[in-house]
């Protein structure tokens, strides 16, 4: 799919989007950016629920949008759309909702497809219930099942976890990639949650003030953008799980071993997020070298921030420590110097990467 379009608004900045996306096989693209930057509008333009002013949207040899022609109606684009709030049809049962897009299918095939999705989503008990009778997490599962049932070429997910409580969101997030992968459907997920983007995305489009400014893997894009949510996460490092001991994970980040609290789940790949506040420095080789998360490091740069200073380190992996200016002077820190970085295990946040 190729999309290049713009849409102006009487208030706020215009939306400009340009990207390509492979259809036909699974891949999860995260459309990431702060609230109000126009992510939802991009999604709605792709779905045909809104029309751009200018540009071109093409998919598989079909033109979806061109300013000089009537746009292709949403019904014929072969997309699935999941809203922030599930937007289930209240007059239909769960099974009826899932079957909605299968209008015109032979009866037996329709039944089989509905049964398949109900099973895939773990909705067996709820098939004959009305939307008001199921929980928020289940509703969103039904909405996803409904969007996937007609075998769309592309699924558009507009912050599908935002209206859920944390437990339900975690559970659905955990299943989402697997489900899309099983069905082999590419998807675009809109989110402003950096952790969600890291956990789920293969690719990230970063959007700010109405424009897509960066395109790459989530970790790359996040590191490059200086997004405030990202800044709060500290250093985001790709890690491999090499063991689990006493409730701690043993991780390896570019060959450097780290211990961190285990959030649970059988994942083998993760991001370790290390905030500067959780890192302290000491000089010289004294202390127990066996101590966990004590890494020899070279000072790369010292950035004064008033009462604090940020010390950028190379410990075989990039790392930063946020320490008081007073401590910095006391230790006589200078770029090029070798120190030991102590990372509190509890200061490492682990984001499992969904397989």
Partner 1 sequence: MDWEAIRLSLRLAFSSALLLAPLGILLAWPLAYGCFKGRVLLEAVTSIPLVLPPTVLGFYLIVALGPRSPIGAAWESLTGARLVFSFQGLLLAQVITNMPFFLQPLVASLGGVDRRLLEVASTLGAGRAGVYFRVALPLAWRGLLSGLILSFAHAIGEFGVVLMVGGNLPGKTRTASIAIFDQVQSFDLAGASRTALLLLGFAFAVLACTSWLRARERA
Which residues sit at the interface with partner 1, rule CB under 8 A? 47-49, 73-77, 79-81, 83, 85, 87, 89-91, 100-101, 103, 146-147, 150
Minimal distance, residue 154 CB to partner 1, in Å: 11
Among residues 79 and 313, whose Cβ is nearest to partner 1? Answer: 79
Instruction: Identify which of 309, 315, 306 has the alpha carbon closest to the alpha carbon of residue 272.
Output: 315
Instruction: Identify which of 136, 77, 128 has the alpha carbon closest to the alpha carbon of residue 101.
Output: 77
Q: Can you say how many angstroms the Cα of residue 83 is from the centroid of all Cα atoms in its chain? A: 16
Q: Which two tokens stand for residue 58?
A: 């093409």
The rounded distance, in Å, linking the Cα atoms of 17 and 5 is 5
Among residues 180 and 350, whose Cβ is nearest to partner 1? Answer: 180
Among residues 102 and 341, whose Cβ is nearest to partner 1? Answer: 102
Minimal distance, residue 107 CB to partner 1, in Å: 17
Among residues 86 and 349, whose Cβ is nearest to partner 1? Answer: 86
CA dihedral of 97, 100, 102, 107, whole degrees rounded to 10: 80
Neighbours of 89 (CB within 10 A): 13
Note whether 89 and 97 are within 8 A (CB): yes
Minimal distance, residue 320 CB to partner 1, in Å: 44
Element (H, E) at 287: none
Minimal distance, residue 194 CB to partner 1, in Å: 27
Minimal distance, residue 53 CB to partner 1, in Å: 17
Minimal distance, residue 76 CB to partner 1, in Å: 8
Minimal distance, residue 317 CB to partner 1, in Å: 44
Tell me phi and psi for residue 43, to 5 degrees.
Answer: -65, -45
Among residues 83 and 206, whose Cβ is nearest to partner 1? Answer: 83
Among residues 96 and 316, whose Cβ is nearest to partner 1? Answer: 96
- Please report, in angstroms and rounded to a whole number, the separation of the first and last CA atoms in the chain: 25
- Give the burial class of 97: count Cβ atoms within 10 A of its Cβ; 0-12 exposed, 13-18 middle, 19 or more buried: buried
Among residues 5 and 81, whose Cβ is nearest to partner 1? Answer: 81
Minimal distance, residue 49 CB to partner 1, in Å: 5
β-bridge pairing 269-274 and 256-261: unpaired
| DSSP letters spanning 89-130 | -TTS-HHHHHHGGGTTS-HHHHHHHHHHHHHHTT-GGGTTS-
Minimal distance, residue 43 CB to partner 1, in Å: 11
Among residues 155 and 347, whose Cβ is nearest to partner 1? Answer: 155
Among residues 77 and 192, whose Cβ is nearest to partner 1? Answer: 77
Neighbours of 95 (CB within 10 A): 19
Summary count for the chain: helices (H), strands (E): 9, 20
């Amino acid at each position: 799919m190729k999309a290049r379009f713009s849409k102006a608004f009487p208030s706020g900045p215009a939306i400009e989007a340009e990207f390509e996306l492979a259809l036909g096989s699974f891949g999860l693209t995260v459309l990431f950016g702060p609230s109000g930057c126009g992510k939802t509008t991009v999604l709605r333009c792709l779905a045909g629920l809104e029309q751009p002013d200018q540009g071109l949207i093409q998919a598989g040899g079909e033109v979806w949008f061109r300013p000089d022609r009537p746009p292709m109606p949403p019904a014929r684009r072969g997309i699935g759309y999941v809203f922030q709030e599930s937007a289930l049809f209240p007059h239909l049962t769960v099974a009826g909702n899932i079957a909605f897009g299968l209008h015109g299918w032979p009866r037996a095939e329709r039944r089989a497809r509905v049964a398949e999705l109900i099973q895939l989503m773990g909705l067996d008990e709820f098939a004959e219930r009305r939307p008001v009778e199921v929980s928020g997490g289940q509703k969103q599962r039904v909405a996803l099942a409904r969007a996937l049932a007609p075998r769309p070429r592309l699924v558009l997910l507009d912050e599908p976890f935002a209206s859920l409580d944390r437990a339900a969101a975690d559970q659905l997030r955990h299943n989402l990639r697997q489900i899309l992968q099983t069905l082999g459907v590419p998807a675009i997920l809109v989110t402003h949650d950096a952790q969600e983007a890291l956990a789920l995305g293969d690719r990230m489009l970063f959007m700010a003030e109405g424009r897509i400014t960066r395109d790459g893997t989530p970790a790359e894009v996040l590191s490059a953008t200086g997004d405030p949510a990202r800044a709060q996460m500290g250093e985001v490092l790709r890690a491999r799980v090499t063991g689990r001991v006493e409730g701690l994970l043993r991780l390896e980040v570019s060959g450097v071993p780290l211990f961190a609290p285990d959030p649970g789940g059988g994942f083998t790949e993760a991001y370790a997020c290390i905030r500067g506040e959780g890192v302290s420095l000491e000089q010289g080789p004294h202390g127990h070298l066996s101590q966990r998360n004590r890494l020899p490091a070279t000072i790369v740069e010292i950035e004064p921030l008033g009462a604090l200073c940020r010390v950028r380190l190379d410990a075989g992996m990039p790392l930063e420590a946020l320490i008081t200016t007073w401590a910095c002077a006391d230790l006589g820190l200078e770029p090029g110097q070798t120190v030991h970085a102590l990372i509190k295990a509890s200061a490492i946040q682990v984001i499992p990467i969904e397989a």
